[in-house]
A and B are shown apart, each in its own frame.
Chain A
Amino acid sequence: MFIINCPYCGARDQTEFSCHGEAHIARPEETEKLTDEQWGDYIFFRQNPKGLHYERWVHSHGCRRWFNALRNTVTDEIFATYKVGEARPVLPEQNAGEAPS
């Protein structure tokens, strides 16, 4: 259990939120031209880093709005939460080697 800082509501308990995996995945353009490999990669293959992870959260039991977070998957330390559409924050210096590219 940890505290998440919702960009709209402020600090709330993690149980109010639900996580929806890797953030910043753009739906491919011109989907009619995608190969099976590209479709599979888009739908099923995810970053699964041991370290820093950009991920999507939704404040399910609060404002119900979606936002992104940068969290360490080993320590559960959250370095930043930011609104959808905002640029991804710069990685903290430590553990940067383990962050997704």
Chain B
Amino acid sequence: MKAYSLFSLVRNSMSYHRNWQRAWRSPDPKKHYDVVIIGGGGHGLATAYYLATQCGISNVAVLEKGWLGGGNTGRNTTIVRSNYLLDASAGMYEHAVKLWEGLSQELNYNVMFSQRGLLHLAHSVHDMQEIGRRGNAIYLNGIDSEFLTPEQVKEMLPIINLDCRYPVMGGLLQRRGGTARHDAVAWGYARGADAAGVDIIQNCEVTGVRVEHNKVVGVDTSRGYIGAGKVGSVAAGHSSVIAEMAGFKLPLECYPLQALVSEPIKPIIDCVVMSNGIHVYVSQSDKGELVVGSGSDAYNSYSQRGSFDLIEHTVGPLCELFPIFSRLRMLRQWAGIVDVTIDRSPILSKTPVENLYFNCGWGTGGFKATPGSGHAFAHSIAAGEMNSIAAPFSIDRFNSGALIDEGAAAAVAH
């Protein structure tokens, strides 16, 4: 792999940028791999990258049924934060934020991680109590967290309408939160993994999981059978489908989660603003588009479309909070299928089938955890046991009752 640098940019500009090395190969699948990762989104590619670079397992394939990062990795609203209530979540998401902070340098790929600050608004006494409890819990976990008065919110965001239908009573700010370029995360990890020897195989859909004597031995795919020592499923919205192939159920239900993008405008919001109370969140991309989202549809679906009434529920509070946006046109709307657990926390776990591991259930907020999730999952697969960061997210918690209830922190904020 040729490193990207100012010099390579200058050198390639001499040949009109026609001679850049391909960022990753497109190999045919081998007959057998030590580890097969199902799903070429951010989490799957990160898992493969850390397996190859940190765990000494480079005979790895990533199988992607479509194109890299074409699922939820390319459909989210790119928000990164670690302001969660509970210790297990703080461990996972803060682990991720720390990796985000050095990711562009590590990957030699600009993921455009921008710690522009993430402001969570409170609109009621209940909201104030929730951010009070959570803000202090975050602080005690050693993660930055500040309370803002409405006046301080106004100072940060001069365009906000504090006296809206549900007046802004305060805010919780994580200055180290922000956004990253979602496609670049997938591409950067893919390039790094490929350079470390991982085969990234696109247009290769897993159609069956072969299990012998309760042990996974390989996967059937649209490009033939591929043997595997271990299999890690990182299939997000299709995790239940993969689990069914392996013969067990997961405590997941899938919903469409929508997002919208406006026409590009000059810089007007320099942080991420989110509100669980009135159900909207917004940030501005480097291109100038507003990236807007809200809640998921309330019925199971794999449709990747989402319902129209949710769009109204999204732009209504947006215009109430920022009246200046009322004449802005929206350019695109889409949905991704999110796999949601009952406690709104992910699953990183061994399964009833030996050597088959699942990383799923990230629900409405998996993007922010991409590096941490991949890192923890890779080390856990390599060791054959979940590591200390991943262990609390075992599938066993749905039977033991040791749930990690992050409903308040995850309900809207993605």
Contact = CB atoms under 8 A, between A and B. Distances in A.
Interface of A: 1-2, 14-15, 18-19, 21, 36-37, 39-41, 43-50, 53, 55, 71, 73-76
Contacts of A48: 240, 249-250, 252-254, 300, 339
B402 to A, nearest CB: 11
B303 A73 contact: yes
Contact of B253 (A21, A37, A43): A21
A41 to B, nearest CB: 8
Interface stretch (B57-65, B69-77, B393-401): B393-401
Nearest to A75: B303
B24 interface: no
Contacts of B301: 73-74, 76
Chain A interface SS verdict (over half): mixed
Interface residues of B, number: 25
Contacts of A45: 249-251, 398
Nearest to B313: A15
Contact of A47 (B249, B308, B342, B399): B249
30 contacts: A1-B307, A1-B309, A14-B307, A14-B309, A15-B307, A19-B298, A19-B300, A21-B253, A36-B399, A40-B399, A40-B401, A44-B342, A45-B249, A45-B398, A46-B252, A46-B253, A47-B249, A48-B240, A48-B249, A48-B250, A48-B253, A48-B254, A50-B302, A55-B299, A55-B300, A73-B254, A73-B302, A74-B301, A74-B303, A76-B301
Contacts of A50: 238, 240-241, 254, 302
A1 B305 CA distance: 10
B397 to A, nearest CB: 9
A36 B307 contact: no
B303 to A, nearest CB: 6
Nearest to A15: B309
B339 to A, nearest CB: 8
Contact of A19 (B240, B299, B309): B299
Given A45-B250, A73-B254, 5 more contacts: A14-B307, A14-B309, A43-B398, A48-B250, A50-B241
Contacts of B254: 48, 50, 73
